Amino acid sequence: MPRTLNIQRLVGYGVLAVFCFVSLLPVWMALKTAITFPSDVFTSADSLWTDRITFGNFLRVLGLPSDVPPPANTGSPIDFMIALRNSVVYTGLLVSGQLFFSSLAAYAFARLRFPGRDALFYSFIAATMIPSIVLFIPNFILIRQLGLLNTFAGMVAPNILMLPFAVFFLRQFFLSTPKELEEAARLDGLNWFRVYWHIALPLQRGPLATLAILLSIQAWNDFFWPFLVGQKENVQVMAVALANYQSQTGQGQPDWTGLMAAVMLSIIPVLVLLVFFGRRIVESLQTSGMK
């Protein structure tokens, strides 16, 4: 029996290793291209490593002096710092609004009693079956009529209020909060909003942090809606800036080294979140699943 278990464990580790290799290979190739001289991109395309290493691509993407000139027939360089600032602002506005309004709705569904509460909640959850692509055209028409194109307000307006997944996720934790604390606060004269803000919300810091990480990753990688609404450079997020930079080359070859360098720099915030808070994400999802 122990030998059988060891063989099963080895097979499991082997399968995990294969999946890790397949998942990380694109990231590795992007990193390899980012540290390659532009003249060596195609000569080393069939290799997992490059003979000559340079960090000049990262420097010129950041607008710093570099000894690596960009290839000919490339588009205008990426203003990486402006795109990074726009991504941070967009993600911050979207996640903060989604956390506040989703937690408010989740607490109402968990604690308040009103006619049709359960039917409204299940109808709200059923909205997750509607494909998001169906909502892009009416949302775009509304934002254009309101004059909010190329503004952060127009970029975050359709999704800043609530997400069905976030409401369902937080409701599970609010249901587990001891009612005695809230009842004592109500006897002391607190209204429902103050009970939510001062009692219920601080008790759910772990789930809120987990949800903030998940929503931040989703907002950071968001492309299609910011591409439709925020084309100007002063509101252009990182994903849109990278796509526009690649499309500017026309019939020529894109600046693959600069593009991959910008991509690697843009995923650093996401990697930091996953490295430091990945375990909390898994634990909170497991806990909500058991509930």
pLDDT in tens, 79-123: 888 888 999 999 999 999 999 999 999 999 998 888 888 888 888
Say if pTM beats, i.e. exceeds, 0.85. Answer: no
pLDDT number for residue 89: 94
Contacts of 90 (CB under 8 A, 6+ apart): 152, 155, 156, 219, 222, 226, 230, 235, 237
CA–CA dist 50, 40 (Å, integer): 8
pLDDT number for residue 75: 59
Within 13 Å of residue 240, how many CA atoms lie on the same side as its CB?
A: 25
User: Residue 22, exposed/middle/buried by CB under 10 A (0-12, 13-18, 19+)?
Assistant: exposed
CA–CA dist 166, 98 (Å, integer): 8
Closest CA to 174 of 225, 110, 227: 110
CA–CA dist 289, 250 (Å, integer): 49
Residues of the chain with pLDDT under 50: 289-291
CB 128 within 8 A of CB 165: yes
pLDDT number for residue 290: 46
What digits encode the pLDDT tens for the residues 56-67? 888 888 777 777
CA–CA dist 28, 68 (Å, integer): 21
pLDDT number for residue 40: 82
User: Residue 213, exposed/middle/buried by CB under 10 A (0-12, 13-18, 19+)?
Assistant: buried
